[in-house]
Chain A
Amino acid sequence: MNAVIRTENLVKRFGHVTALDHLNLEVAQGETHGFLGPNGAGKSTTIRVLLGMLRSDEGRAELFGADPWKDAAELHRRLAYVPGDVALWPGLTGGETIDLLGRLRGGIHRGRRDELLERFDLDPRKKGRSYSKGNRQKVALVAAFAADVDLLLLDEPTSGLDPLMGAVFNECVKEAAAQGRTVLLSSHIMSEVEALCERVSIIRKGAVVETGSLAEMRHFSRSRLVATLKNPVAGLEGAEGVHDLRTDGLNLDCSVDASALDDVLARIAAAGVTALVCEPPSLEQIFMRFYGDELAAHGVQEEQAK
Chain B
Amino acid sequence: MTATEIEDGLGTLAGTGKLLRFQARRSRLYLFWWTAGIAGFTFMTVPVLADQYQSAAERAAFASTMSSPAMLSMSGPMQYVDAYADSIGALFTHRMLLWTGAMTAVMFVLLVTRLTRADEETSRSEVIRSLPVGRRADLAAALLLSAAAAVVLGGLLALAASGLDGGDAASALLFGAAHTAIGIVFAALTAVAAQLSENGSTATGYGLAALGASVLFAGAGSAEGNWVSWLSPIGWAQLTFAYTPEQGWWPLLVAAAVAAAAVWTAFTLVSHRDFGQGMFAARRGRAEAKAGLRSATALTFRLTRGLVWTGVVTTLLLGLAYGSVLGGADEFADGLSEAQQAILDRGGNSLQLSFATTFISVNAIVAALFGVLVVGRGRKEETVGRGELLAASPVARSGWPGSYLPAALVTATLTNAVAGVGLAAGGSAGDGDLAGKILIGTLVQLPAIWALIAFVFAAFAWLPRAGWLRWLAWTWTLLVVYFGGLLDLPEWSMALSPFDHLGNYPAEDFSQAALVVLTAVAAVLAGLGYLGLRRRSLHFN
Contacts and interface: CB of A to CB of B under 8 A. Distances in A.
Q: How large is the interface on B (under 10, 10 to 19, 20 to 34, 35 or more residues)?
A: 35 or more
Contact of B289 (A51, A90, A96, A130): A96
Interface in B390-439: 390-397, 399
B509 interface: no
B394 A103 contact: no
A101 B394 CA distance: 9
A22 interface: no
Contacts of B390: 104
A188 interface: no
Contacts of B290: 96
A270 to B, nearest CB: 60
Interface stretch (A70-78, A173-181, A210-218, A231-239): A70-78
B30 interface: no
A81 B384 contact: no
B392 A126 contact: no
B43 to A, nearest CB: 36
A97 B287 CA distance: 10
Nearest to A106: B394
A95 B286 contact: yes
A53 interface: yes
Interface of A is mostly: mixed
Contacts of A92: 285, 302
Contacts of A88: 386
A74 B293 contact: no
B394 A105 contact: yes
A55 B533 CA distance: 12
Contact of A87 (B299, B384, B399): B384
A125 B395 contact: no
A226 interface: no
Among B384, B389, B395, the most chain A Cβ lie within 10 Å of the Cβ of B389
A126 B386 CA distance: 17
A100 B392 contact: no
A67 B284 CA distance: 42
Given A73-B396, A76-B395, A86-B389, A104 B294 contact: yes
B394 A96 contact: no
B294 A87 contact: no
Among B286, B290, B392, the most chain A Cβ lie within 10 Å of the Cβ of B392
Interface in A154-201: none
Q: How large is the interface on A (under 10, 10 to 19, 20 to 34, 35 or more residues)?
A: 35 or more
B514 interface: no
A83 interface: yes
A93 B285 contact: yes
B440 interface: no
Nearest to B393: A104
Interface in B357-402: 384-386, 388-397, 399
Given A99-B288, A124-B287, A129-B199, A83 B293 contact: no
Interface in A98-129: 99-101, 103-106, 124-127, 129
A54 interface: yes
A74 B394 contact: yes
A56 B447 CA distance: 38
A275 B44 CA distance: 91
Interface in A33-55: 48, 51, 53-55
A272 interface: no
A220 interface: no
A104 B295 contact: yes
A235 B198 CA distance: 72
Contacts of A96: 285-286, 288-290, 293
A97 B302 CA distance: 12
Interface of A: 48, 51, 53-55, 72-74, 76-77, 79-81, 83, 85-93, 95-97, 99-101, 103-106, 124-127, 129-130, 140, 143, 153
28 contacts: A48-B540, A53-B391, A55-B537, A73-B395, A73-B397, A74-B394, A80-B392, A83-B388, A87-B386, A87-B540, A93-B286, A93-B287, A95-B289, A96-B285, A96-B290, A96-B293, A99-B289, A100-B289, A100-B294, A100-B299, A103-B293, A104-B294, A105-B393, A125-B287, A126-B284, A126-B285, A127-B283, A129-B121
Given A76-B393, A81-B392, 19 more contacts: A48-B540, A53-B392, A55-B537, A73-B394, A73-B396, A81-B389, A85-B385, A86-B389, A87-B384, A87-B385, A87-B386, A91-B306, A96-B285, A96-B289, A100-B289, A103-B294, A125-B284, A127-B284, A127-B285
